[in-house]
Amino acid sequence: MCGRFFIAQAPEIFRAFYGYPEVPNFPPRYNVAPTQPVPVVLSEAGRRQFRLVRWGLWPSWVKDPKAFPLVINARVETLGEKPTFRGALRHRRCVFLADGFYEWRREGTGKSATKTPFMIRRADNAPMALAGVWENWLCADGSEVDTAAIVTTGANGTMAAVHDRMPAILAPEQVEHWLDSRGVEPDAAVRLCRPCPDDWLTLDPVSPRVNNARIDEPDLIVPLASPHPGNPERGRPPAEQPRSSDEDAQGALF
């Protein structure tokens, strides 16, 4: 599951990386949480566009969003099958603007369980292209809300030290194919969403202050001086596999 991410680099870097014509001036955000407005890049009529959307997808057929579960992730394994995502996969694909994301390693059960936060970012410090799908939801009063969800896949070797799932991270050359809903069929698009190579990522423990979504400060992305999980050279998981998050429960709803 991907439930938090951060956007730390300057807007000009994202604009140059993704090539959209708009010149947005958005501030850095170190603890982006579900239901908040988030920046994405999408393609309409063959042109890339920058857009702010709500993180938490509402399919167009939803009548009352208050009665609809919070859908922040979309499993790539069932992306083309679930009614919630099927139309968006075919017609409305996007990329979330991000520099990295957070994940929590669960250990133990019940009241003795602990959750340690980790920061995951690209080793080359390039923007992290998180594959997403989006929908335009139309309210009965005529107002519109653009909403989106991050596509997830199985963990690669680095991420497996912390969690069994991860966002689908696209290579720069894959971004165009993912966004091209007119020329790239859903099956081909899905094949782009695989666990990225292990050496793309760095993984560091960070302050538990990130647990509080109301805290949005630069020190959240400062690594803590503590042992790296698993094998620091290969990112192999420790003997006890990380426990899954509640994404399984979310996925069972759709």
Is 2 annotated as catalytic? yes
SS (HEC) of 133-162? EEEEEECCCCCEEEEEEEEEEECCCCHHHC
- The tens digit of pLDDT for each residue in 190-248 reads 999 999 999 999 999 999 999 999 999 999 999 998 645 544 333 333 333 333 333 34
In angstroms, the CA 57 to CA 35 distance is 9
User: CA 20, 9, 193, 2: dihedral to nearest 10 degrees?
Assistant: -130
| Cβ proximity of 193 and 130 under 8 Å | no
Is 107 annotated as catalytic? no
Instruction: Considering the candidates 2, 94, 193, 196, report the single residue annotated as catalytic.
Output: 2
- The tens digit of pLDDT for each residue in 52-88 reads 999 999 999 999 999 999 999 999 999 999 999 999 9
Please report the pLDDT score of residue 236 as a whole number.
36
Instruction: Considering the candidates 103, 135, 193, 247, report the single residue annotated as catalytic.
Output: 103
Q: How many CB atoms lie within 10 A of CB 217?
A: 12
Please report the pLDDT score of residue 226 as a whole number.
61
- The tens digit of pLDDT for each residue in 81-123 reads 999 999 999 999 999 999 999 999 988 787 778 899 999 999 9
Q: How many CB atoms lie within 10 A of CB 44?
A: 12
